[in-house]
């Protein structure tokens, strides 16, 4: 594993690259947040470049789309999430509810990357694929 992604053997000694942005829609700092060396995972082949002997893989494509993942969540409920970006100079704090589902909460002092937090779901805006959250 590297900071930019993970090399995954897909069978018969053939190895493909799973870029970090193809692991999750959430911002992650390293593939180790999702996988460990030797772990068996399902991946999808995104592209094959025969001229350069490169195979590009995706994991997040297998985790369901936004519409599928939002079904188990409702407004005005409290759920647990993981802080994925907490910068007071940006728009807020990104909270991962599931590996392929992220919402945005207003900035709150003392909240750090990787921390588990309880969030109140203020609003689900399906047509814009957005979730407004409040850290409780």
Place of tokens 């689900």: 124
pLDDT in tens, 30-51: 999 889 999 999 999 999 999 9
pLDDT in tens, 76-108: 999 999 998 877 666 789 999 998 899 999 988
pTM of the model: 0.76
Start-end of H helices in 1-136: 66-70
User: Average pLDDT over the chain, rounded to whole?
Assistant: 91
Q: Which domains does the chain have, with CATH numbers?
A: 5-62 (no CATH), 66-135 (2.40.50.140)
Residue 120: name the closest of 69, 72, 75 by CA. Answer: 75
- Can you tell me whether residue 116 is helix, strand or coil? strand
Q: What is the pLDDT of residue 5?
A: 93
Q: Which residues contact 31 (CB under 8 A, 6 or more apart)?
A: 1, 2, 5, 6, 18, 20, 23
pLDDT class of 136 with cuts at 50, 70, 90:
very high
Strands (E), 36-127: 44-49, 54-58, 78-86, 93-98, 101-105, 116-125
Cα 61 from chain centre: 11
- Can you tell me whether residue 80 is helix, strand or coil? strand
C-alpha–C-alpha distance, residues 46 and 69, integer Å: 22
C-alpha–C-alpha distance, residues 20 and 88, integer Å: 24
């Amino acid at each position: 594993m590297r900071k930019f992604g993970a090399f995954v053997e897909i069978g018969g000694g053939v190895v493909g690259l799973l870029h970090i942005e193809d692991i999750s829609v959430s911002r992650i700092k390293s593939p180790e947040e999702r996988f460990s060396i030797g772990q068996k995972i399902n991946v999808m082949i995104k592209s094959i470049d025969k001229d350069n002997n490169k195979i590009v893989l995706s994991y997040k494509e297998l985790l369901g789309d936004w519409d599928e993942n939002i079904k188990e969540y409702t407004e005005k409920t409290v759920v647990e999430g993981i802080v994925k970006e907490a910068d007071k100079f940006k728009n807020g704090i990104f909270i991962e509810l599931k590996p392929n589902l992220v919402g945005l909460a207003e900035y709150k002092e003392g909240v750090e990357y990787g921390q588990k937090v309880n969030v109140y779901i203020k609003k689900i805006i399906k047509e814009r694929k957005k979730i407004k959250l409040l850290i409780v």
